[in-house]
Amino acid sequence: MSAAMAAFAFLLVVAIVFPLASAFPSPPVSWGQQQLDPHFYDHSCPQAQQIVASIVGKAHYQDPRMAASLLRLHFHDCFVKGCDASILLDSSAMITSEKRSNPNRDSARGFEVIDEIKAALEAACPHTVSCADILALAARDSTVMTGGPGWIVPLGRRDSRGASVQGSNNDIPAPNNTLPTIITKFKLQGLDIVDLVALLGIYIMSHMHHAIYNIYPLYILLRLNLFVSDCCYIARVTIYIACR
């Protein structure tokens, strides 16, 4: 795809979706007895967001594709049981990792960046910042570092102790799904047809030898409307990211 075509495609999708940006919620966001708040770590770990941004920036400098990979991790995490970091769990006697699912096997990447962020946060603020919040912040910072807009990230998610490889296989939209199936999968996440068009966008295949799930939009716009995890993540976000 030429640079001119890519620019036109980007502007077209932005024109459709960016008006939704005004729908950002006013923090804090409540759901049941749980509450998300952008200031959740202001006292317990005030340097948390700076640490995340620093390591994401280093990873993006070393590998420009990492920004897209970190956003994809957050997307695939949120579509299965909500944004609870279940995608990060390895297989054990009790669970089968979502990393083994068709959408993630041999294609999900960026885990080492999340591990580095977690280690740095544990050194600064032990047992404080959840991995689910790390994924959310890393997705936002990746977007900003590739020239996209920033947004306020509600914080305070809880990490899952379980994983669902079946949910990963069934809930994440696949390139070979029919349109009605994909629409249904988006509706189950509280997302509508505008979100579907924005996310799927204009596809490229970055590496022909990779699995079918390595097809990505050249420019992705993703609005996270209603993802419910243990801490009930509710946010409206309009973002774009350039995949390389």
Quickly tell me which residue has 């509710």 as its tokens: 234
* Residues flagged as binding site for Ca(2+): 77, 80, 82, 84, 86, 98
* Closest-CA residue to 202 (of 220, 214, 185, 186): 220
Provide the 8-state DSSP code for 216.
E
Number of H helices and E strands in the chain, helices first, is 8, 6
Amino acid at site 127: H
Ranges of H-type helices in 36-178: 48-62, 66-78, 111-124, 131-145, 165-171
Burial 148-170 (b: 16+ CB within 10 A, else e): beebebbbbbbbbeebbbeebbe
- Taking the C-alpha atoms of residue 72 and residue 202, their distance in angstroms, rounded to an integer, is 16
Q: Which residues define the annotated binding site? A: 77, 80, 82, 84, 86, 98, 173
Q: Which residues line the annotated binding site for substrate? A: 173
The residues assigned a catalytic role are: 76
